[in-house]
Amino acid sequence: MRAALTILSALLVAPAALAQEAPPSPEAKRIAELEQRLCELERRMGEQPLAPAQPGPPAPEPAPPTPEPNAPTPAPSQPTGANPAGPAQPKDDEIKLELKLETLNGYRVEASPGKGFTIVAPEDRFAATVRARLQLRDTYLMQGDKDTNELNVRTVRLITHGHILSKSWRYLIQLAFGSNDYEGTNHSPIFDAFLESTHHRDLNVRVGQFFVPFDRQRTTREFALNLVDRPLVVRELTLDRDVGVMLSSSDLFGAGVLGYHIFVGGGEGRNRFGGAEPGPLVVGRLTAHPFGAFDEDSEGDLERKEELRVALGVAGGYNYRTSRAQSTFGNTLTAGVVDYVHAAADLVLKYGGFSLQLEGVYRHGEENSVEQVVNGVATRQFSRSGHGYFVQAGMMATDELELVGRWEQLVAEDRRTDPALRTLARQTGRQVGGGVNYYLNGHAFKVQLDYFYLFGHNDESAKDHQVRLQLDVSF
């Protein structure tokens, strides 16, 4: 071990030795310290008595010498300077010399379950975390006399995030590789890719592709959901991801109460290529935490704190001249463009293992449809206008087990909107159900089981039953 440390010391110190007046490097000091501790360890271990030999056949004891008459009994001899109680036993932490490979030229490496691997450069000039996530799902659907079962790898994600130059320059890249993650014929795996400046508490700046700061349920990361999937209301009426710039603060004025987001983007959604009608998406969101800030973007109250935590949010947006049927996602409109008005409001409450979430979402297309005539043939395409809400509550039964329930309702705006949306709302626009979650490592490693009854607003109601089992693991 000493030879290895000596060689390592020579390799690290040699460049510094070439400069006659250069001070010793931190690496050289570290190696010298390790060598000194190793010498001390060898010295201490050399003072300890040898371990007793393995027992064998007993040897015959020699007869004790016959003492001379009237001879004084000799006192037991002790080595000069010896401790009557025996040699001093070094402490465990002195015997165990921990040679941790925690630095390599000043870089630090960390790892933990669910959080991946992190490497940090000297003086925090750079940091990168790499982690992966896997989601497996089995969906059993009972539709009248027809039952179907779908078992698949729902998604596989690869995420890297960290900071560069300083902790105030943050970045995140997320790639998705599940077949359900792609949009139509667009097979780009990019979900998130952004750079963010957090130099000023009241004015953070983010540029790239990411969630539009609209409704809370959609911006909550998928792995942190309380049920297997988001409500139909949110999947239909949200704003999803877009490319643009966002100004924000999670602690406006430093009081720990207010936050805001202002987003300006292209309005065409993620991973779009090719020219489109110019027209921005503008969104504003305001949040309030009356009892102080907390992690409201992770569903459930896994910490079971005996503290009341409340978060309120309102948002509004306008998407001017978009070519997407659902504003920032969905089918591409080829016959024209649509202007959309968006609004959302939400509430999150947590206390002692109980969690409550309410959200309402609204979307209105200024044009009900667009038309185009090509070679004498008229093409008509519809916008999708509607509103809806959901209520979701959960309770931690133990530190690992949670019970959750949810009710939701989706309503198509009127008869002039997309007939497909009207049919969807009539048949499955109302859904009620619940589930159970078993947490092995919080949201980073959990098994989820839920059941939902899917029905509509009239005789066209589907009256379907859906059961889903899901494993979600972040590595």
112, 21: one domain: no
* Dihedral sign (CA 408, 212, 186, 181): negative
Contact status, residue 424 vs residue 417, Cβ threshold 8 Å: no
Q: Measured between alpha carbons, how far is 110 from 123 in angstroms, rounded to an integer?
A: 16
SS3 64: coil
Check whether residue 285 and residue 384 sit in a common domain: yes
- From first CA to last CA, the distance across the chain in angstroms is 34
One-letter amino acid for residue 136 of the chain: L
Residues 247 and 386 in one domain: yes
Q: 385 with 267, same domain?
A: yes
98 part of a folded domain = no
Would the CA dihedral through 72, 73, 77, 83 be positive or negative? negative
Residue 275 lies in a domain: yes
Shared domain for 200 and 324, answered yes or no, is: yes
* DSSP secondary structure letters along 441-462: BTBTEEEEEEEEEEE-SSTT--
The DSSP bridge partners found for residue 404 are: 394, 435
What's the pLDDT score for residue 9? Answer: 46
Indicate whether 279 belongs to any domain: yes
User: What range does the domain containing 183 cover?
Assistant: 103-474
User: What pLDDT is stored for residue 272 in this prediction?
Assistant: 85
Residues 329 and 399 in one domain: yes
User: How far is residue 322's CA from residue 313's CA, in Å, rounded to a whole number?
Assistant: 26
Q: Where are the beta strands (DSSP E) in 352-444?
A: 354-365, 369-374, 377-382, 386-396, 401-412, 430-439
Residue 92 belongs to a domain: no
CA distance 1 to 34: 10
Residue 274: predicted pLDDT: 76
Number of domains in the chain: 2
Predicted confidence at residue 298, as pLDDT, reads: 95
114 and 25 assigned to the same domain: no
Neighbours of 276 (CB within 10 A): 16
Q: How confident is the model at residue 78, as a pLDDT?
A: 45
CATH of the domain at 290: 2.40.160.10
Tens digit of pLDDT per residue, the chain (475 long)? 444 444 444 444 444 443 444 455 655 666 666 567 656 655 655 554 444 444 444 444 444 444 444 444 444 444 444 444 444 554 444 433 344 445 567 899 999 999 999 999 999 999 999 999 999 999 999 998 899 999 999 999 999 999 999 999 999 999 999 988 988 778 899 999 999 999 999 999 999 999 999 999 999 999 999 999 999 999 999 999 999 999 999 999 999 999 999 999 999 999 988 777 778 999 999 999 999 999 898 999 999 999 999 999 999 999 999 999 999 999 999 999 999 999 999 999 999 999 999 999 999 999 999 998 877 888 899 999 999 999 999 999 999 999 999 999 999 998 889 999 999 999 999 999 999 999 999 999 999 999 999 999 876 788 999 999 999 999 9
Whether residue 230 is contained in a domain is answered as: yes
Report which secondary-structure segment, H or E, holds 66: none
Same domain flag for 3 and 108: no
> In terms of domains, do 38 and 110 share one?
no
In sequence order, what are the beta bridge partners of 438?
401, 447
Same domain, 234 and 332: yes
CA atoms within 13 A on the CB side of 362: 12
Do 442 and 301 contact (CB within 8 A), yes or no?
Answer: no
> Is 8 part of any domain?
yes
Residue 235 placed within a domain: yes
Distance CA 377, CA 433 (A): 46
Residues 233 and 329 in one domain: yes
Secondary structure class of 35 (helix, strand, coil): helix
Q: Is residue 345 part of a domain?
A: yes
- CB-based contact 363:386 (threshold 8 Å): yes
pLDDT at residue 461 in the model: 80
Q: What is the predicted pLDDT for the residue at 187?
A: 84
Same domain, 137 and 2: no
